[in-house]
């Protein structure tokens, strides 16, 4: 089963969900805000990919962090901050079994859902 993690009003999440629906791909959507962070495999993502790939360093949430928070960022602090402020996580995140994909690009999605 494919799961999409994100925030429903995020434009990129909307594009990804629209692409999945247009391509008749069944998926479950987990909204960070509405569904909470309890079932989100954030520690696993950080272990596998590192905070640099998991966090969106172009987001408003990232820019709101202090210079000290940014310069001292590691997986542990990323987990703590992203758990409290899930808008720091690069969206959407799509999982299928043990595979994970960050962001949305139609070509990547087409390969991923096969």
Catalytically active residues are: 10
Question: What is the rounded distance in angstroms from the CA atom of residue 106 to the CA atom of residue 114?
Answer: 13
Range 75-79 contact pairs with CB under 8 angstroms and sequence separation of 24 or more:
75/46, 75/47, 75/50, 75/51, 77/51, 78/46, 78/51, 78/54, 79/42, 79/43, 79/46
| Cβ atoms of 91 and 5 closer than 8 Å | yes
């Amino acid at each position: 089963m494919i799961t999409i993690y994100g925030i429903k009003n995020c434009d990129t999440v909307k594009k990804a969900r629209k692409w999945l629906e247009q391509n008749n791909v069944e998926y479950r959507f987990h909204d960070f805000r509405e569904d909470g962070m309890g079932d989100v495999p954030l520690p696993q993502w950080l272990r596998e990919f590192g905070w640099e790939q998991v966090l969106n360093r172009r987001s408003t949430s990232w820019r709101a962090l202090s210079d000290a928070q940014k310069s001292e960022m590691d997986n542990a602090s990323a987990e703590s901050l992203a758990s409290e402020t899930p808008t720091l996580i690069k969206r959407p995140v799509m999982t299928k079994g043990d595979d994970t994909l960050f962001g949305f690009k139609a070509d990547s999605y087409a390969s991923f859902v096969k």
